[in-house]
Amino acid sequence: MEEKRKESGYLNGLKQSYSDPHKKKKIWYVAVSIIVLLLIIPKIIPLFQEMSIFAEEEIAQVPQVDVVVLEAVQRDDKITATGNLRAIQEVELSTEVSGKVIGLHIEEGAEVERGQLLVKVNDNDLQAEKSRIESNISVMEETEARQQQLMERGGATQEVYDNTLMQLNNMRAEFASVQAQIERTEVRAPFDGVVGLTYISDGAYVTPSSRIASLQDMSSVRIDFSIPERYSANVSAGNEIRFQVQGVDSVFTGRVTATEPQIDPRTRTLQVRAVSDNPDGLLNPGAYANVELILTTYEDALMLPSVALIPDAGQYKVLTYSDGSVTEKYVTTGTRTRNSVHILEGLAPGDTVLVSGLLQVNDGSEVEIRNRESLADNE
C-alpha cells in the first residue's frame, strides 16, 4: 500500500509539472539542447583534433628565407646630382660710350677671333681731335730738334729746351688720351668664340646698357652642380664626373676643377664646378645635365640589397646565414643606389645574407633556405 501511494504521488507530480506552462517550457529547452549537442559533438571533435595537429606543425616548422651570397666587384662610389652647362668663356657684348653705330661687323652664329672688330660707334669728333694733335706733335718735334741743336752750339739755354720738350710730351699724352677714347668706341672680340643673336642694327643709337649680342667660347663647357654637405670632404679637384643632357644619347665625361670654399647655409650643399671638352659642339650652354660624381673607385666593393638592412638605434645590422642558423652582424654603409647599398665594414665576400623573413627570425634562429642568389651588383 505504501509503495502504491508513493507511485501515485510521483505520477501526480509529473502531471502537475506538465500542466505548469513554465516548467513545461524548461523541460522542452533542456530536451532540445541535449538533442543539438548530440548532433554537433561528432563534428566538433575532429575539428579540435585538426587544430591541435596544425598547431603542432606550426611549432615544429622551420622558417624558410631567401638569401644572397656576396661577391667582391669593382665599383665606382658615386653620387648623383643635377647641374647646368655654361660656356668656358661667355660675355654680353656692350659699348663703353653712347653714340650712333656706324659699323656693325657681326654675323649671327659666326665664329670670330680674338681682337676682331665687331661694332664701331661714331667717333668723328675724336678723329678730328686726333688729327689736330698729330699735326701739333709734328710741329713740336721739329721745334724740339732745333732747340737741341741750338743748345749744343750754345745758341739756346737748357731751360728753353726743357720747356719745348715738356710741351711735346704733353701733346703726346693728349694723343694717347684721344686714342684711348677712340678705342672705347670700338667693340672687339675679347676671345675666340661664336656670336649669338644680335639685337641692334647699323645706324642705331646705343648706350653702355644696350644689349648687342652674346659671345661664347664653346670649345669646352663648365658644369655647375651641388652636392650634399656630408660628401664635401670626399670631393676635390680632379674627381671624374659623367653626365648626360637631353636630346643627346652620348655619355660625356669631365673633371672637377674647383669647389666653393664654404657650404651654402640655406641649402646645406656644396657648389662644385667641372669642365668637359666639347670638340663636336654637341653641348650647348644652358642645358640641363644629370651628373654622376665619382668619389672613389673600389676594386673589391660589396653591394647588398637595401631590403636586407635592419635599422637599430642609429646603426644598421643584417642577418647572416651559416650552418642552418641566423647570426646578427652590424655593418657600416656607404653610398646607396636605387636598390642597393655599399657595405664598407661588417661583411666579407662569400657571406650569406637574408633578404626575406627578417621579422620572423632573430639571432640564433634556425632557418631553411628557400632561394639562394649569387649577387655581384644589385643595382
pLDDT one-digit tens code per residue, 117-162? 999 999 999 999 999 999 999 999 999 898 888 888 887 788 888 8
- What pTM does this model have? 0.63
Which position has the grid cell 636598390? 339
DSSP 8-state secondary structure symbol assigned to residue 250: P
pLDDT at 55: 47
Looking at the structure, tell me whether residues 95 and 201 fall in a common domain: yes
For residue 6, being part of any structural domain is answered with no
**Residue 4: inside a domain, yes or no?**
no
236 found inside a domain: yes
Residue 3 placed within a domain: no
* Same-domain status, 248 and 334: no
What is the pLDDT, as a whole number, of residue 155?
76
312, 331: one domain: yes
- The pLDDT assigned to 92 comes to 95
Give pLDDT, residue 358. 87
CATH number at residue 242: 2.40.30.170
Does 134 lie in the same domain as 179? yes
Last residue of a domain, one of 206, 239, 270: 206
CB atoms within 10 A of CB 234: 14
- Count of the separate structural domains present in the chain: 4
Range of the domain at 325: 64-74+299-375
Shared domain for 101 and 171, answered yes or no, is yes
DSSP string, 89-122: EEEEE--SS-EEEEEE---TT-EE-TT-EEEEE-
- Do 99 and 138 sit in the same domain of this protein? yes
Is residue 170 domain-shared with residue 97, that is, in the same domain? yes
CATH assignment of the domain containing 340: 2.40.420.20
Give me the pLDDT at residue 259, please.
Answer: 95
Q: 213 in a domain, yes or no?
A: no
Domain identity same for 31 and 53: yes
**The predicted structure's pLDDT at residue 45:** 63
Q: What is residue 134's predicted lDDT score, i.e. its pLDDT? A: 94
Together in a domain, 292 and 313 = no
pLDDT digits (tens, 9 = 90+) for 33-74: 777 666 676 666 666 565 655 445 445 578 888 999 998 888
Domain boundary among 250, 267, 298: 298
pLDDT at 276: 97
Asked if residue 193 and residue 94 are part of one domain, the reply reads yes
Q: Give the whole-angstrom CA distance, residue 27 versus residue 130.
A: 139
pLDDT for 11: 46
- For 2, the grid coordinates are 505504501
Residues of the chain with pLDDT under 50: 10-11, 14, 18, 54-55, 57-58, 376-379
**Is position 285 within any domain?**
yes
Q: How far apart (Å, rounded) are the C-alpha atoms in residues 271 and 229? A: 9
CA gap 39, 67 in Å, rounded: 51
For residue 98, being part of any structural domain is answered with: yes
User: Coil, strand, or helix at residue 67?
Assistant: strand
Whether 370 maps to a domain, the answer reads yes
